[in-house]
Amino acid sequence: MRRYLISGNWKMNTTRATGVELVKALAAGCEGDESVDVLVFPPAPYLIPILDAVKGTSIQVGAQNAYFEEPGAYTGEVGLEMLQDIGCETLLVGHSERRHVFGETDELLNRKVKVALDKGFRVVLCVGELLSERQDDRTNEVLDTQMAGGLKDVTAEQLGQVVIAYEPVWAIGTGHTASPEQADAAHANIRGWLATNYSTDAAEAMQILYGGSVKADNAAELLGQPNVDGALVGGASLKASAFLPIIQAGIAATKG
């Protein structure tokens, strides 16, 4: 059985103090039941204090972004070696905001994926369609293209270090959520792509998260779908009182 992964993307939010307070509250709330994995993506300036705050707990910490080049003249960028130096070895790649606000292409994202995997990182690769693409019945086509682009030249062995996050762009931060059936259908398509392009075993082993206005009141139904293995949570991950119920929904789903 695939293990649930409940992750929170803090985006450009929190301060050092509120971030540390948040992650300590999560650790306290998860203490005693580690049946699901919990992962947070703080803003880059707060990675060190957050990593320090979670030492000795089950909470995992990842980076929202990094550059694929070796250290050098890349003003404003964060290198993978820098992340490893502080003990951070999970990287979020391809979030819709990186694609649509910052113009990151599948080709550029693939470079990030490959270099990160080569350096031993776990990669959470995000894919998802625009509202216009869903209305045109192109969801599966878009997902297939993004999967092929993002995972180009990634080996079957490296795939074991990849997590896929499906986040329909039209549901991110909008309050609109894909129905459980829509989410599961998209996840099933992703799993089918993996089976075709890698193997059935690889497809069955892959954790596929749903992201897009996940909240306490819809988490249980989403996580109850056969192809949904966790969540990538945005706004609701910024308060322990909102995020912990989603974690609890994952724990409940694990126990059946």
**Sign of the dihedral through C-alpha 41, 42, 46, 49:** negative
Structure-block tokens of residue 159? 């795939």
State the catalytic residue, choosing from 89, 95, 129, 187.
95
The Cα 202–Cα 147 span in angstroms is 14
Structure-block tokens of residue 120? 């031993």
CB crowding 42-68: b at 16 or more within 10 Å, else e: bbbebbeebbebbeebebbbbbbbbbb
Whether 95 is a known active-site residue: answer yes
Among 134, 136, 126, 77, CA closest to 100 = 126
Measured from the Cβ of residue 3, the count of other Cβ atoms closer than 10 Å reads 12
State the catalytic residue, choosing from 89, 97, 167, 187.
167
Q: Report H helices in the chain.
A: 16-30, 47-54, 80-85, 96-100, 106-118, 131-135, 139-150, 156-159, 180-197, 200-205, 216-223, 240-255
The Cα 25–Cα 248 span in angstroms is 14
Structure-block tokens of residue 84? 């490893």
Whether 176 is a known active-site residue: answer no
The Cα 165–Cα 249 span in angstroms is 18
Do residues 22 and 14 touch, judged by C-beta distance below 8 A? yes
Do residues 194 and 88 touch, judged by C-beta distance below 8 A? no
- Residues with active-site annotation: 95, 167
